[in-house]
Amino acid sequence: MKVINVVGARPNFMKIAPIVREMDKYECLEHILLHTEQHYDDAMSKVFFEDLALPQPDIYLGVGSGSHAVQTAKVMVEFEKVLNERKPDLVVVVGDVNSTLACSLVAAKLGVKIAHVEAGLRSFDRSMPEEINRIVTDALSDLLFTTELSANQNLEREGIQKGKIHFVGNVMIDTLLYCINKAQISSIMNTLNLAVGDFALLTLHRPSNVDVKENFEEIISALEIIQQQIKIVFPLHPRTRARLSEFGMAEQFARMTNFVVTEPLGYLDFLNLESNCKFVLTDSGGLQEETTVLGIPCLTLRENTERPVTITEGTNTLVGIDPEKIIEESMKILSGEGKSGRIPTFWDGKAAERIVEIIHQR
């Protein structure tokens, strides 16, 4: 059986790595790793592949950045050539980036079976491009692997046959548990002169937060207050850095004396910070899941989440971009009233085992 595993952006690496390792155990599975290069930074990609013990991709599509339409179209054109040449039995896509949608469309039209890892997640906000990608990919997929039971319910409501849906757990957590001990060897805490529990960790990159000046200003006004009480470490996403300059906010940012800004970090360095911080402020999806397993309070700077189990069972709290709410919840954590949770079902480091066993059976 020939399988093409698709990645397109850094979050995909963490999701595909345990699947690739598990497929290595099956002699009957010939698996190919394809990187569309939707997001590609040579230095950072190299670090991520090393951190995750992930082999270098067999195929690079060289797509690069562009508008949603341009990027999706480029992936489709190049991926069609690969499918016609390699003739796989199955395409495995993960997450919700444009490459996930584009490769699913091509595979479906060429009659190649599709497996979607992290299926069924819904924010119910179609202004998010990722939501469109999720819905269309799930509609086209033959095997739908879910991380939480709410995803099963979403898929069944959308008319997906129950026999296609498999609740297997979370491959992001497979990677976290695989790497957590190795991450503790990282020297990033010493490099940044940090102590355990004495800092908050911030990530901010979502277009709705950083591309809209008014929204960005709301968030920064809250951060100005919070950093007076606790140091904030901020690995700065290239998109966010560009907007700070474009909106003339760089000086305001620089005046926050308890702010530690770094370049984007490799997975192990970031995981070290995440597991040793007091709490996380983020607009990322994956961090909501990781903090739940690590037992670290998480404040999500969004009005909705496609990962509701991180709220109902985990350590996640939605705070939106209201400065008062962000500050209020941060102060609760600093006063010892942070949210505690429990680890959801099947978030046990064995999701990839379940996924590959089902693929093998089929």
Just list the catalytic residues.
Answer: 205
Would you state the structure tokens that stand for residue 344, as one six-digit string?
């959801």
The contacts of residue 280 (CB under 8 Å, 6+ apart) are: 200, 201, 202, 203, 274, 287, 291, 296, 297, 298, 299
Q: What's the token pair of residue 48?
A: 């991520």
Contact present, 8 and 104 (Cβ < 8 Å): no
By DSSP bridging, strand 90-94 and strand 2-7 are: parallel
- What is the spatial distance between Cα 131 and Cα 121, in angstroms, rounded to a whole number? 8
Tokens 């805490």 correspond to: 189
Whole-angstrom Cα distance, residue 231 to residue 214?
Answer: 24
Q: Integer distance in angstroms from the first to the last C-alpha of the chain?
A: 10
d(CA 224, CA 258): 9
Q: Where are the strands (E) in the chain, listed by range?
A: 2-7, 30-35, 59-60, 90-94, 113-117, 143-146, 165-167, 199-202, 231-235, 259-262, 279-282, 298-300, 316-318
Residues 318 and 300: beta-carbon distance below 8 Å:
yes
